[in-house]
Chains A and B, each alone.
Chain A
Amino acid sequence: MKHWFLPSFLFGLLAGAWLLPAPAAQAAGLDRAGLVQDLCGDAGAMGRAGAALTATAATGSDDERAWAAPLARAAIDRKLACDAAGAVLTEGGLDALTRAPREAQGTPRSPLLSLKNRPVYELADAAFALRGAPDAGRRAAALRTLERRPALIPEGLLDMAAEAEGDAGLKAQIEALAQTAALNAADPAARIRALSRVADNRSRRALTQVTALAQDPAYASNPEFRAAVDAATARIERGIAIGDALATLYNGLSFASILFMAAIGLAIIFGLMGVINLAQGELIMIGAYVTFMVQQGLRHAAPALLDWYLILAIPAAFLVTAAIGIALEALLLRHLYRRPLMSLLATWAVSLFLVNLVRVVFGTQNLQFETPFYVSGGVPVIGDFIFTWNRMFAIAFAAVTLALTWLVVRKTPLGLNIRAVTQNRDMAACIGIPTRRVDMMAFGLGSGLAGLAGLALSPIYSVNPQMGQNFIIDSFMVVVLGGVGTIAGTVVAALGIGQINVLIEPLWGAVAAKVIVLLMIIGFLQWRPEGLFAVKGRRK
């Protein structure tokens, strides 16, 4: 946004200077002084100023547009300082009217756009950018802003922009938008063209727009128009149905990936040692804090890599939490293996200790994470389905974690030992497997996976000392339902719980969804107490 701002700003300055000797040119179109005055007025006056700016963007002369463009941007960014003598653009310190350098007098007021005026100014700003921005990316962004509110686009703007547009692809997009805007035009052929354009965007909003046309007189009189409306409605409805189905799947998958990440470490620890590790949630939290520290480290050491902190933090998050897990096992749990209740209490104490330690060191506030491009925003796919990148990151991360965990457990000597000890500890010890060391390594692996969960969750959830407590119940649910100690069980249980939750939520609400899922799990465990996938063999 700022890229084009400065050059056009300078251009505005030049244009202003060039205009000074010819005041007659000013008087012809835009009432500049009145506009600046309105910009500093109340909500109503600012609305008028916004409308004037939008109109200028469409029909104003080149120098008028160059003069007015910085005003729209400044009003949005609150970079306009109103004082007794008018207004000053604070970025650059220029008078809003004359563009002569000056300081604001007294205590200037910077007007705040009301919610009603904000879209008007954003539209004006985008309209100026579409016609005047030297950077094609900026013009494309402006076009996307305009697309949000096709009804408000001033007449003639798109035609002029398309005419001046040098980029062929962008030109086609502008023309397409111009056709959409013709939905309520007089010419039936243009309306039918517009209908097919509107139907390309298969959302509920488009549906509302199109179904409203059924009340149009042309719908009854013109069979061609009627057929076009019906076809567009059917097409949009199909798109929405597909979009809703995809959205449900995606939401379920995304919730499942969160559940899986939280539970996989626990599945290994619980499956192997039968230790109920209540500190698992806190290990997730510590993973997120390590990610934060890596981010802060990069900020100082290598700012160029800052955007990639989520990737670079992977080894750190894994190793730190694995080390904590190993220390926990060696110092505490090792002595409590024969007393499951004691180990439960001990890990609970550890969880309280970790929460308070982090609180003392970092404070209770939510941590401030950068949001790099790959975890911010989303792309609309079809209907109302939006593919959000932070969720996709968690899903991809869960998939990779699953693959690696499966490799470790299935294909490495350590994994073989872990499986042997899980199935029959005494027999494994008899054939010479160092069960104590396997315990320690497995605990480290499980804890490290929790750390990775913290990393994957940091773009989705707020990170604070209490964040781990939200996960412990859910992850136990997944582990118990899946069958203790199996990766496949954890995956299927996470997918099942995630999907069922997402299906129930819109019907009966989020509170009922939790209750119903819990009841379903209890019912299932009555029928199959060993869970979905029980490890075959004798367990104690």
Chain B
Amino acid sequence: MVKFSRRSFLQASGLAAAGLASPVGMPAVLRSAQAQSGPVKLGCLFSSSGTMANLEGRLNYVVKMAADEINAKGGVNGRTIEVLVSDPASDWPLYAQTAKQMLQQEKVAALFGCWTSVSRKTVLPVVEQEGGLLYYPLHFEGDENSKNVVYVNSPPASSVLPAVDYLMSDDGVSAKRFFMLGSDYVWPRTINKQLKGYWASKGIPESAWKEEYVPFGFSNFQTLVNQIRAFADQGGGQPVVVLTVVGNSIPDFMREFANQGILATDIPVLGLDMVEADLEGLDTSKLVGHLNCWAYLQNAAGPANEAFLKSWAGYVGANKVPFSPDVSIDPMVSAYDSVHLWAMAAAKAGSFDVPEVSKAFAGLSFDCPSGYKISMTGENNYVARGVFIGSVNDKQGFDILWQSKDTPTPVPFSPYG
């Protein structure tokens, strides 16, 4: 006969209560029972608080919008899609923790998330261990190829290098000297390392470039802009700034740059992470002509973009989304593409199992709002995208200065790094 002491009774009942009250324990049991019939779940890993909130926050809504579109057409494999939203609060380790929860407890079929490379790097071991699938919508430094991550946006070989090539060409500004300014973390450092390798391979001497890093969230760019001016005035050919600072450092840098009287025609800035949202609140009439490069710009021509812009504006209006209805940035479109690419792969595989879905990637293609037909091959998990170079206009947007003829084949591992 089992004797209950007061302590063991309390322990046991406490455990039982915890099991009952736990918000995850019980629903998980119910969920697995109805797994074959209920909606299939997708998880979002985009922050709605912290430094990245203004940028990442809008991607949650885009994923929902894409899911709504697919649901309106009857869902995937006979099931509707449900989108789960989280808030990793711009705290890099929290991305991994949230991803783990979503995969283990919510059993999401795929994750869509991360903006900074540092957050992707923390999630990477989690999706690999749990056999999950992460769609990453940002252009990034490459040098990574996990079977559990779909790199929806471009590695440097098909984003940064074409833009730098353009700047160095006669059609561009025949750039000869380069000032690299970045936030101090993996993406800027890797990009700059590859750029240096690239320039070295072109026979450009080491004296033609300079590299500076600032901490995350840095805003006091006075001294650095002085340094850029001194660098430019040394002579030796047209200088350009390759800007890889992120977040609020971008508008703060551009403001100081314009205030010190430097125009794009003197020293153009190629802002690799600069999007329309970064120009909000800036007087862009003195910034006209500065550049960025992405796989999509809001001014992209074509019916696919018109449809996307219209449905985003409609979605914002109908759901009271706290973001601008008439600003559309590359990562939004890439997140939108991600959901559709996943749905196509799942439909092709006839399953939601990650290995099955992954096998179906080869040969997928989708009419991206950018106007290009983006596609995947069986070779890797990269997506072939078009390349745009944008030029800041006086209406806080980007005009398309140059765009690639077709979608270059993505090269995951840079030969220059």
A interface residues (Cβ-Cβ under 8 A, vs B): 43-44, 78, 112-116, 118-119, 122, 148, 203-205, 207-208, 212, 247, 251, 254-255, 258, 355-356, 359, 363-369, 371, 376-378, 380, 384, 386, 388-391, 460-464, 466-467, 469-470, 502, 505-506, 509-511, 514
Contact = CB atoms under 8 A, between A and B. Distances in A.
29 contacts: A78-B393, A112-B399, A114-B172, A114-B401, A115-B265, A115-B268, A116-B174, A203-B233, A204-B229, A205-B235, A254-B222, A255-B222, A258-B220, A359-B49, A363-B323, A365-B324, A366-B251, A377-B258, A378-B260, A384-B233, A389-B259, A460-B252, A462-B248, A463-B281, A470-B219, A506-B226, A509-B213, A510-B224, A511-B214
Contacts of A204: 229-230, 233-234
B336 to A, nearest CB: 20
In the A-B complex, the 8 residue pairs with the smallest Cβ-Cβ separation, listed nearest first, are A204-B233, A366-B281, A208-B235, A364-B54, A119-B265, A510-B214, A205-B233, A251-B222
Interface string B168-179: 001111100000
Given A205-B233, A514-B215, A251 B223 contact: yes
Contacts of B173: 115-116
A174 to B, nearest CB: 21
A119 B289 CA distance: 10
B260 A115 contact: no
Contacts of B106: none
B213 A251 contact: no
A148 B213 contact: no
Given A386-B261, A510-B213, A365 B280 contact: yes
Contacts of A464: 54, 248
Contacts of A463: 281
Nearest to B58: A364
A169 B213 CA distance: 45
B104 interface: no
B147 interface: no
B180 interface: no
B218 interface: yes
Contacts of B86: none
Interface of B: 49-51, 53-54, 57, 167, 170-174, 184, 212-215, 217-220, 222-224, 226-227, 229-230, 233-235, 248, 251-252, 255-256, 258-261, 264-266, 268, 277, 280-283, 286, 289, 291, 322-324, 391, 393, 399-401
Contacts, number: 150
Contacts of B223: 251, 502, 505-506, 510
Contacts of A510: 212-215, 218, 223-224
Contacts of A467: 248
A505 B224 contact: yes
A509 B51 contact: no
Contacts of B222: 251, 254-255, 388, 391, 502
A356 B87 CA distance: 13
Contact of A251 (B212, B226, B229): B226
Nearest to B226: A247
Given A115-B264, A461-B252, 18 more contacts: A112-B399, A112-B401, A114-B171, A118-B265, A118-B289, A355-B49, A364-B54, A365-B54, A365-B281, A366-B54, A384-B230, A388-B259, A461-B219, A464-B54, A466-B53, A502-B222, A506-B223, A506-B227
A340 to B, nearest CB: 27
